[in-house]
Amino acid sequence: TSVDTVMEEQEYLPGTPLADMVLAANVGSPADIPLIQNFKAQGVGLYRTEFLFMGEKLPSEEEQIEAYSKVIAACAPHLTVIRTLDIGGDKKAPALNLPKEQNPFLGVRALRLCFQRPDIFNVQLRAIWRASAAGPTAVMFPMIATLEELEKAKELLYLARDEVINEGYTVGKLEVGMMIEIPSAAWNAKSFAAKVDFFSIGTNDLTQYMLAVDRENNELMNLYQPYHPAVLGMIARVSQAAEKADIWVGICGEAGGDRLLAPFFAALGIKELSMAPGSLTHVRQTLAKFKFDAEEKRRFVESVLDCATVGEVLEQLKRI
Ligand code: PEP
Ligand code: MG
C-alpha cells in the first residue's frame, strides 16, 4: 500500500470526523455526474430539480424520471436526495407564467407554489417514486414553515405512490426528509423530527430569513453571515432535536462547503455535508486533520455558541 492509502485509512478510522460524516455533492442535472465522480462525492445531498423547470416548457414525467434516475444510478450505492420543486424567489420558471410579487422571497415559492399547482407537483412526485427504483433515493421538501405543510406534502407524496403502484410500476424505498431553512421550522425542529427520516439545513435561506438580509443583495454582503452566532445557535438547536428523535441531519447550503465551519459541524454531530463538488477536496482535507474526543467536541461547540459577534465566532473557528 502507498503512503497515500495508509493516510486515507487513518483518516477514516472510527471516531474521526470523516468516518462519521458523509461528504456529498449539490447538483442540478445529470450533466453534473462527472463532477460527482471526479470529486469522489459520497452521493448527492441536494439535487436542485428546479433547473428542469426553467425552460420554455415543463418537463414531462418521463423526462423527469430520466433526469433523476441517471443521477441516482450514478451515485449508487450512495444516497441521492432529490429536492422537490423550489421555483419562486430567485428561481424563475417562464413556462409557469407566474404573477409578479412584491416580495418574491416571502411569496408563493417552492412548496407553496406546489400546493397551488397540484397537477405539476403530482407529476414530479410520481417521477421521483418511479426513479427511486434506480438506487438509494430520498426526497425532501423545501421551504416548510408549518407542520401542516409537511403533513400535506407527505399526504400528496403517498397518494402519488399509490397511483404509480396501481399502474404497475416498481418503486424503491424512499427516505422522506425536509429542508430546515425557515426560522419557524428550525425553532420547532422537535415537532418536525418525529415526522421525517432526516433534516437538511439550507443555510442560504436560513441565514437570509434569520438576519432579514436578501441573499442576492451585494450591498448587504457584510451582513449576510452564516457565521452569525444566532444562525449557528439555531443549527445547534436543530441538530439536538434531530439527535433526540434519532434522525440524521445534514447541511446543504453554502456553509456545508465552508472549511472553517466543517469542524464545528463535525463537533455538533452533523451527519452529512453537501456542497458544490469543487469544495469537496478542501473540506475533506480539513476534516482529515481533526480528531476530537467527546469532551473536546463539547467544549469547542460551547466556545462558538458563547460568542456574541461574527468576529468572535471566526476567532474561535480559526483557533481550532
Ligand atoms: C439553501 O437555502 O441553503 C439551499 C440549499 O437551497 P437554495 O440555495 O437552492 O435555496
Ligand atoms: Mg433554499
Ligand closest in space to the Cα of 91? 1
Per-residue confidence (pLDDT) for residue 78, from 0 to 100: 98
Report CA(178)–ligand 1 centroid distance (Å): 12
Alpha-carbon distance of 285 to 131, in angstroms, equals 34
Which residue type occupies 161? R
Q: How many helices (H) and strands (E) does the chain have?
A: 15, 8
Q: Are strands 22-27 and 80-83 parallel, antiparallel or unpaired?
A: unpaired
Burial class, 35, CB count within 10 angstroms (exposed 0-12 / middle 13-18 / buried 19+): middle
Mean pLDDT value across residues 134-139: 98
**How much distance in Å is there from the Cα of 138 to the middle of ligand 2?**
17
Categorize the per-residue pLDDT at 6 as very low, low, confident or very high, splitting at 50, 70 and 90: low
Closest-approaching ligand to the CA atom of 201:
1
How high is the pLDDT of residue 89?
77
283-311 average pLDDT score: 95
CA 153 – CA 44 distance, rounded (Å): 22
- 7: its cell numbers: 493516510
**How far apart are the CA of 143 and the centre of ligand 2, in A?**
7
* Cell matching residue 67: 433526469
Task: Determine contact, residues 124/64, Cβ cutoff 8 Å.
Answer: yes
Q: Supply the mean pLDDT for the chain.
A: 95
Provide mean pLDDT across the span 148-166: 98
Pocket-forming residues, ligand 1, beta carbon under 6 Å: 46, 48, 86, 181, 202-205, 252-253
For the residues 133-143, what does the mean pLDDT come to? 98
**Which tens digit of pLDDT belongs to each residue from 191-223?**
999 999 999 999 999 999 999 999 999 999 999
H-helix or E-strand spanning residue 44: strand 44-48
Answer for the pair 121, 156: CB distance below 8 angstroms, yes or no: yes
Nearest ligand, CA 235? 1
The answer to ipTM > 0.85 is yes
Instruction: Give the residue, 8 or 206, on which the prediction is more confident.
Output: 206
Which atom of ligand 1 is nearest the CA belonging to 252? 5
* Centre of ligand 1 from the C-alpha of residue 200, in Å: 10
- From the CA of 89, give the closest atom in ligand 1: 10
Q: What percent of the chain has pLDDT over 70?
A: 98
Task: State residue 8's pLDDT score.
Answer: 74
Q: Does position 145 have pLDDT exceeding 90, yes or no?
A: yes
Q: Please give the C-alpha separations between residue 67 and each of 61, 77, 113, 234, 320, in angstroms, as whole numbers.
A: 10, 18, 22, 34, 41
Atom in ligand 1 nearest the alpha carbon of residue 208: 2
- For the entire predicted model, the pTM comes to 0.96
Residue 14 C-alpha to ligand 2 middle, in angstroms? 33
For residue 189 the three cell numbers come to 425542529
